[in-house]
Amino acid sequence: MTWLTRRHAFSASHRLHRDRLNPEANGRVFGKCNQAHGHGHNYVLEVTVAGEPDPQSGVLVSPAAIDACVREAVLARLDHTHLNDLPEFTAQTPTTENLAIQIGRRIAGSWRATGRVRLAKLRLEETGSNAVELDLHGHEGND
């Protein structure tokens, strides 16, 4: 099995807050991420595909194919946005975990699966000390 990972960067802001919690509870749950005006991150997204390289070319998949999928499904939608303003976060807090799940759904919906290569995982780094990984195996869009 061969794995290929592509890295992409985007910037977005969010506020971690639940209306049903009082201010003290929001502070306990979300800490400094509950600031009234939100805050931003320079996210790093890694998308990994897995499979067997083409026997003729030795290439697993064109990196440009992964890049195009990520640009279309993720970057065009999320880069330089306030995540709380997006419909998918109307009823859901835009934590790194929830953001990774939403990104995984978008990528799986855009990925053009082949018999040789499958989506394997994504890793979303919010800060140098906070990252979430998501197993994408079995979530390909066009199997």
pLDDT tens sequence across 38-85: 999 999 999 999 999 999 999 999 999 999 999 999 999 999 999 999
From the list 101, 3, 110, the residue with the least C-alpha distance to 61 is 3
Select which of 72, 80, 97, 137 is catalytic: 80
Residue 134, pLDDT above cutoff 80: yes
Domain 2-135 in CATH 3.60.15.10? The answer is no
pLDDT for the residue 138: 60
From the list 133, 143, 117, the residue with the least C-alpha distance to 2 is 117
Distances (CA, A) of 17 to 29, 36, 89, 91, 95: 9, 9, 11, 11, 9
Select which of 14, 17, 33, 125 is catalytic: 33
Residue 29, pLDDT above cutoff 50: yes
Look up 88 and say whether it is catalytic: no
pLDDT for the residue 9: 98
Select which of 14, 41, 69, 126 is catalytic: 126
pTM: 0.89
Look up 69 and say whether it is catalytic: no
Residue 142, pLDDT above cutoff 60: no
Look up 126 and say whether it is catalytic: yes
Q: Where is 49: in which H helix or E strand?
A: strand 39-51
pLDDT for the residue 115: 72
**Count of other CB atoms within 10 angstroms of residue 81:** 14
